[in-house]
Amino acid sequence: MKLRRADFPTDFMFGAATAAYQIEGHSFGGAGPTHWDTFSATPGNVVGAENGAIACDHYHRMDADLDLLSDAGMDAYRFSTSWARVLPDGRGTPNQDGLDFYDRLVDGCMARGLKPFQTLYHWEMPSALADLGGWTNPDVADWMADYAEVITRRIGDRVHSIATLNEPWCVSYLSHFLGHHAPGLRDIRATARAMHHVNKAHGRTMTRLRDMGQDTCGIVLNFEATQAASDISADRRAAATQDATHNRWFIEAIAKGHYPAEALDGLEPHLPANWQDDMAEISQPIDFLGVNYYTRGLVQAVENAPWPATAPVGGPLDKTQMGWEIYPQGLQDTLIRMAKDYVGTLPMFVTENGMAWPETDGHADDARTGFIDSHLQAMHAAIGQGVNLQGFFYWSLLDNYEWAFGYEKRFGLVHVDFDTLDRTPKSSYHALKTAIARQDPA
């Protein structure tokens, strides 16, 4: 890799990220059912109808996994706590085994000098709350704040930071409009409500965390480099619409207290009554912004179609195993845009960036090393242009459950054999370890 730790600011943190349902093994330790258990059990939703019941068995292998992070010389670990592991029915009586597990996880991080970056919601809605409408129910904001309080009482004294949600666009639009993720809806009213209620839940949870005296609280949003497939005005309008729903809806609500007009064009009739009353709580200050970035999105207009009247277009760039174009310039542009248009000098972290790549003999994955290298250069360039970027988390530490794609798409720095659950660091793990090694003082 071209860049080394010494090329980044002194306190810049390098880490890796995971999420609870994707690695823990949800069948262990008294966790309650989630909407991903039922979505994956419904034929046609998930490749091979695979689920997170065993996943990487991180529940029983946590120490070895934390060793992988510290052995690589990482500074921080981004993980999520599972709502349904903490509160199996979503509300009510906590699961002591679940609380104990996260207590051990945070202690395990501290013992290894890893800063724990917690995310409260990384996609597994407890089934009992999904039965009540999940993200379409306005009460979800209070349910989430209550859950945040329970887990924060247990580990809030030791976590380095708390993100309320991971990728609200996926939680709402991808899951309620495009139907790709649980709960698998394709309904504009449900979408508009979910898109507003995730923001409301963020705001309500921030209020609760502040009441509890927590600092270093923020949110993790996912961005794509949205571009028109051609220069014709209809395609440029399509790109503006997609940019509004994908890239602007959440950050604009949080940083400015309003929604973009291009998104309201289609969604406003379906928003809950008096949604404007929630915007003040949604737009309260955050302490950091997490940026997840993977690819660009080329988009074209679709004639005579209902809003948003857009369609994705395949691009010519090299692609990952997901079929996503590799476009590091988009990460640099996104970081600069966030700083310039929304958050100024607020600390930012690249909380996810990585590539899926097929299993290879001997776990040689030079393509992944090149991907990391090019995206580190994009981050470095953004810092050079004044962006207050304070860290980078590779997605993901381990090959894991890639949601609707099951276990086929491999994002890990560390290979997981899903028969034996053996872990083997890939060549990208070793390359990153070398790049971030601390130099001995001369």
Active site residues: 167, 352
Asked if 55 is part of the footprint of ligand IFM (rule: CB under 6 A), the reply reads no
Single out the residue of 24, 167, 235, 333 in contact with ligand IFM (rule: CB under 6 A). Answer: 167
Q: In sequence order, what are the beta bridge partners of 79?
A: 118
Asked if 243 is part of the footprint of ligand IFM (rule: CB under 6 A), the reply reads no
How far apart are alpha carbons 83 and 98 in whole angstroms? 10
Q: How far is the CB of 18 from ligand IFM (least distance, A)?
A: 9
How far apart are alpha carbons 128 and 130 in whole angstroms? 6
Asked if 19 is part of the footprint of ligand IFM (rule: CB under 6 A), the reply reads yes
Q: Measured from the CB atom, is 175 or 214 closer to ligand IFM?
A: 175
> Total residues contacting ligand IFM (rule CB under 6 A)?
8
Q: How far is the CB of 335 from ligand IFM (least distance, A)?
A: 17
Asked if 219 is part of the footprint of ligand IFM (rule: CB under 6 A), the reply reads no
Tell me what percent of the chain is helix, strand and coil, each rounded to the nearest 5.
Answer: 45, 15, 40
* Distance from the Cα of residue 50 to its chain's centroid: 21
How far apart are alpha carbons 103 and 119 in whole angstroms? 15
**75 three-state secondary structure:** coil
Which residues, 6 or more positions from 396, have their beta carbon under 8 angstroms from its beta carbon? 16, 17, 18, 22, 354, 411, 412, 413
Burial of residue 438, with CB atoms counted within 10 A of its CB: 0-12 exposed, 13-18 middle, 19 or more buried: exposed
Q: How far is the CB of 371 from ligand IFM (least distance, A)?
A: 13
Single out the residue of 51, 292, 310, 351 in contact with ligand IFM (rule: CB under 6 A). Answer: 292
Helices (H) and strands (E) in the chain, counts: 17, 11
Q: By rule CB under 6 A, what string of x and - marks binding of each residue 189-208 to ligand IFM?
A: --------------------
Q: Measured from the CB atom, is 245 or 292 closer to ligand IFM?
A: 292
Asked if 252 is part of the footprint of ligand IFM (rule: CB under 6 A), the reply reads no
Asked if 402 is part of the footprint of ligand IFM (rule: CB under 6 A), the reply reads yes
Q: How far is the CB of 71 from ligand IFM (least distance, A)?
A: 23
For residues 382 and 332, the answer to whether their CB atoms sit within 8 Å is yes
Angle formed at CA 286 by CA 281 and CA 289, multiple of 5 degrees:
125
Single out the residue of 173, 288, 393, 395 in contact with ligand IFM (rule: CB under 6 A). Answer: 395
Backbone angles phi, psi at 274, to 5 degrees: 60, 30
Largest CA distance in the chain: 68
How far apart are alpha carbons 40 and 38 in whole angstroms? 5
Q: By rule CB under 6 A, what string of x and - marks binding of each residue 315-354 to ligand IFM?
A: -------------------------------------x--
Q: Which residue of this chain has its Cβ atom nearest to ligand IFM in the complex?
A: 19
Specify the DSSP class assigned to residue 226.
Answer: E
Q: How far is the CB of 304 from ligand IFM (least distance, A)?
A: 32
Q: How far is the CB of 22 from ligand IFM (least distance, A)?
A: 6
Residues found near ligand IFM in the complex (CB under 6 A): 19, 22, 167, 292, 352, 395, 402, 411
